[in-house]
Amino acid sequence: MSETKPTNSPISSGRRQLLIGSGVLGAAAALNPGMAFAHWGRGKGRGKGRGRWGRDNPQENAPPVEWTVEQLRTALDQLRNDTFFAMIAFGVPGNDPYSEHQGVSTPYPGGITTRADLYLSGGTDLLVPVPAGFMNQLLASIATYLAVKPMDIPEMASEDVGENGEYLLENLNSSFTDYLEGEVSNSVLVALLINLAATRVAGSVDGPFPSPFANLSWEQKAKVFEELESEHSWLKRAITWNIPDRDYREATPGVLSSMVAFMLRIAGFGSYCEFAVFNPQTREVVQRPLGWVLSQYAPDAPPSGIGSDDFIGYYQGRRSV
């Protein structure tokens, strides 16, 4: 592949911050570390060794990587999964790496073990309808806002891509634009927004995971949701900053508030329900759900049939509420 760099104009500062702050760059580099680190060790505060996305001693002057829409789709799906794992760990911590990194964990399995992330992503795609045109206007508006009022993203975040950084970001931006013109899942959009808020709260995208949100402490994650739910939310201002369609612009604050409330509720519900062990063909719970274990629900009862047709009483033998 030729190492000749394109002659097109540099990517705007707002779109650059959008790609970095939402985790798109990190997800792309995690999927293919060869796309970055072409000029390792020359960024501020950097030395030789392992980079953010786990590549040891990368080659200098590595050739640029051409990204396709399908490659980017795969990277964004992984970013979504990473973000939702971290969200499940926030709601129902366990002994998984995401819980341990956030500083709140337990000696026992948590929500991630139930694959509540699948419940969350499926529910988001089905129950949080966002038209494709709204998505495009929304992200374009955020990029415009960030060009005027940039986030405090460390300079090293963009320097990590090395001497080919401008080319890589321009190529990634082009693929991202083409991606948004196709079919985009609502769950991916939600993940991008949550990661943008995470970068705004923490001012950094460093950590062991591609998702900025996954790299936060438990307390920082709580601040992200506080930011998203606030009437004066930075993200609400950023989204509505330059949306041309009046109906979309007026609906944005309500859509965002509903989305956050939905995500938090479903993350907990998915962890405690029978989703992971329910057989829809036989309509039976095939093994004892983790939520039953954590809540000590019917500890002496077999899993099959419990709670499917009738309630068996109040918690801890209570007879009234």
Higher model confidence: residue 69 or residue 318? Answer: 69
In a domain, 106, yes or no: yes
User: What is the total count of domains within the chain?
Assistant: 1
In a domain, 128, yes or no: yes
In a domain, 84, yes or no: yes
Q: Say how far apart CA 168 and CA 302 lie, in whole Å.
A: 56
Query: What range does the domain containing 208 cover?
Result: 13-42+63-272
pLDDT, tens digit (0-9, with 9 covering 90-100), for 39-56? 333 333 333 333 343 334
Helix segments in the chain, DSSP class H: 13-21, 24-31, 69-91, 97-102, 116-127, 132-148, 156-159, 165-180, 186-202, 218-229, 234-240, 246-272, 290-295
Q: Say how far apart CA 188 and CA 184 lie, in whole Å.
A: 7
Q: Is the pLDDT of residue 160 over 70?
A: no
Confidence of residue 206 (pLDDT cuts 50, 70, 90): confident
Q: Where is average pLDDT lowest: 223-232, 233-242, 285-294, 304-313?
A: 304-313
pLDDT of res. 15: 85
Confidence of residue 65 (pLDDT cuts 50, 70, 90): low
Using a pLDDT cut of 70, give the percent of the chain over it.
76
Please give the single-letter amino acid code of residue 229: E
Confidence of residue 5 (pLDDT cuts 50, 70, 90): very low
Average pLDDT over residues 60-84: 80
In a domain, 287, yes or no: no
In a domain, 251, yes or no: yes
Q: Say how far apart CA 142 and CA 233 lie, in whole Å.
A: 13
Q: Is the pLDDT of residue 317 over 80?
A: no
Residues contacting 76, CB < 8 A, separation 6+: 24, 27, 179, 188, 191, 192
Confidence of residue 302 (pLDDT cuts 50, 70, 90): low
Helix (H, G, I), strand (E, B) or coil at 278: strand
* Mean of all residue pLDDT scores within the chain: 77
pLDDT of res. 219: 95
Average pLDDT over residues 131-149: 82
In a domain, 252, yes or no: yes
In a domain, 33, yes or no: yes
pLDDT of res. 161: 56
In a domain, 192, yes or no: yes
What is the torsional sign of CA 13, 15, 20, 26?
negative
For the chain, state the CA radius of gyration.
22
For residues 131-156, one letter each, b for 16 or more C-beta atoms within 10 angstroms of the residue's C-beta and e for the rest, the string is eeebbebbbbbbbbbbbeeebebbee
